[in-house]
Amino acid sequence: MPELPEVETTRRGLAPHVEGRRVAGVTLRRPNLRWPIPPEITELLPGQRIDAVRRRAKYLLLDTAAGSALLHLGMSGSLRVLPGDTPLRAHDHVDIALDEGRGPPGRVLRFNDPRRFGCLLWQPPGETHELLADLGPEPLSEAFDGDYLFAMSRGRSAPVKTFLMDQRVVVGVGNIYAAEALFAAGISPLRAAGKVSRERYARLAEEIRKILRYAIERGGTTLRDFISPDGEPGYFELELSAYGRGGEPCPRCGRPLKQASIGQRTTVWCGHCQK
């Protein structure tokens, strides 16, 4: 599933082509993705100017005066700005047509989602959609640091990796980046969240921010189904230290990396370097 850097890469790729443009029309080729597409998408969005493209956690919001279209890429979704006459591919479910504005005429924002685990929903102005209401802080915001993680973890017996991936604790730290940050911080993913010290959480928060920023700069992590809006894959995958490398030599000590399932997600770590 695309994680925070992939979604932020998508946002940055779309924004110059979409912000300031008016929605000329919306074409739905099916009435639902993961959930039914609400009528506001076709009734309120056309005619509105897209004032901003925002990201909250792994969601993208197209902000207009009438409200915000709320999108999630799911496991296999992609958004592209294309000429309106671009031939349809399988699973091209939604077109948001854009007026000329500051860019070329006849462009569409096209949502392709083979598995239909993504969504297209609506957030009225001044409200917070229920999917966003209980989310934790952004990991790149000032609200997120080691002291915050330490306070939130007290009394928790769940593995620290599961704790990090709880979107009510912090958003956007999915399986890949949790594994990488724990490796960089030298913390075993199996350690109980409540047994990690304040000092080690300070290091972990620093590594999370560092890895996420670097991954965003490099265009995200190439997943089987993810390609950035310009058609180029991300590049961070080439530099992963732990994720997907079970059984391979640890980059630090050379011992074989361990692999197990934690919270139904494959986890890789070094039993020697991570305690």
Q: Classify the C-alpha dihedral 183-161-70-116 as positive or negative.
A: positive
CB contact at 8 A, 109 and 21: no
Does residue 195 contact residue 85 with C-beta atoms inside 8 Å? no
Of the residues 58, 80, 107, 110, only one is catalytic, namely: 58
**Parallel, antiparallel, or unpaired for β 67-72 and 119-123?**
antiparallel
Per-position b or e across 68-103, b if 16+ CB within 10 A of its CB: bbbbbbbbbbbbbbbeeeeeeeebbbbbbbbeebee
Cα-Cα-Cα-Cα torsion 164, 57, 243, 257, nearest 10 degrees, comes to -10
pLDDT of residue 223: 47
pLDDT tens track for 193-246: 999 999 999 999 999 999 999 988 887 665 444 455 666 655 556 578 999 999
What pLDDT, in 10s, does the model give residues 40-92? 999 999 999 999 999 999 999 999 999 999 999 998 898 999 988 899 999 99
| pLDDT category of residue 263 using cuts at 50, 70 and 90 | confident
Checking if the pLDDT of 251 tops 60, the result is yes
Known active-site residue 195: no
C-beta of residue 46 within 8 angstroms of C-beta of residue 67: no
**Nearest-CA neighbor of 81 among 4, 21, 138, 35?**
21
Q: Which sign does the torsion angle of CA 224, 9, 177, 249 carry?
A: positive
Predicted pLDDT at 201? 98
Per the listing, tokens 């391979």 go with 248
- The active-site residue out of 3, 6, 180, 207 is 3
pLDDT for 118-132, tens place per residue?
A: 999 999 999 999 999
In 3D space, the residue among 167, 177, 269 whose CA is nearest the CA of residue 223 turns out to be 177
- Pairwise CA distance, residues 216 & 212, whole Å: 6
Please give the Cα distance from 105 to 84 (Å, whole number): 9
Domains of the chain: 4-123 (3.20.190.10), 146-269 (1.10.8.50)
pLDDT of residue 217: 85
213 is catalytic: no
Indicate whether 104 pLDDT > 70: no
Q: How far is CA 153 from CA 33, 51, 81, 182, 247, in A?
A: 35, 38, 42, 15, 30
Residue from 49, 116, 191, 265 carrying the catalytic annotation: 265
Which of 33-37, 100-104, 214-218, 241-245 has the weakest average pLDDT?
100-104
* 214 to 23, 190, 210, 221, 227: CA distances (angstroms): 33, 25, 6, 11, 18
